[in-house]
A and B are shown apart, each in its own frame.
Chain A
Amino acid sequence: MAMRVGVLAVQGAYQAHAARLKLLGAEPVLVRSAAELNDIRGIILPGGESTTMLRFLARDQLLQALTDFAAEHPVLGTCAGLILLAREVEPQQQSLGLLNVSVQRNAYGRQLDSAIIKGSTALSGGPLEMVFIRAPAITHVGDGVTVLAERDNQPVLVQQGHLLGCAFHPELSQDTRVHQLFLEGMGRGI
Chain B
Amino acid sequence: MEWTGLQPEMVRSELSEIVGDAHVSTDDADRLVYATDWFWLPQMWLDRGETPRKPDYIVRPKNAEEISAILQVANAYRIPVIPWGGGSGSQGGALPVFGGIILDTKRMNRIIEIDEKSLTVTAEAGINGKQLEWAVNEKGLMLPHYPASANCATLGGYLAPRGTGTISTKYGKAEDLVLRMQVVLPDGHILRTPIVPQHAAGPDFYRLFLGSEGTFGVITEATMQLDYLPDCRLLRAVLFDDLTNAIEAGRQIMTRRLDPFVIRLYDPRSTASRVKKILGYELEGAYMVLGFDGDKEIAALQEEKAMDIINGFGARDLGREPGEAWWNHRYDFYYPPQSLKLPWMYGTTETVTTYDKIEKLYFAEKKAVEEGFKEWDIDFIGHFSHWFHWGVMVYTRFIIRNPPDDAKEAVRLHNRVWNTAMTAVLENGGMVNEHHGVGLKLSRFMRRQYGDAWPLLERIKKTLDPNGIMNPGKVGFGH
A binds B: no
Instruction: Identify the B interface with A (CB < 8 A).
Output: none
- Which residues of A approach B to under 8 Å, CB–CB? none
